Amino acid sequence: MLIERDVQVMNFDAVGEAYAIAANYLRRSGVLSSDGIETNDRLLEIIVGLYYGGEQNRIKLANKAITQFQVDS
């Protein structure tokens, strides 16, 4: 029997898809460099923070991360 106590499990699919959506948009809009496919740590931190803040919908995660990334830049 598995008992979970105070364990928060991250849905890597939702986070990964949200990152892909946000990074693609930011690259196409010229905010992120399109030189390669390297991960932008700041964008990923924003998405993970939003996820742990309670947002789990990948589209909403991406949209909120894009907005926050543009404001911080």
Banded model confidence at residue 11, pLDDT cuts 50, 70, 90: confident
Which among 1, 41, 3 has a CA at the least distance from the CA of 23? Answer: 41
CA 64 remoteness from chain centre: 9
What's the pLDDT tens digit per position in 16-29? 999 999 999 999 99
Residue 1 located in a structural domain: no
**What is the three-class DSSP state of 40?**
coil
The range of the structural domain enclosing residue 58 comes to 12-72
Specify the number of domains making up the chain. Answer: 1
Q: What is the pTM of this model?
A: 0.83
- The single-letter DSSP state of residue 29 is T
Residue 41 located in a structural domain: yes
Residues 6+ apart with CB under 8 A from 48: 10, 15
Residue 44 located in a structural domain: yes
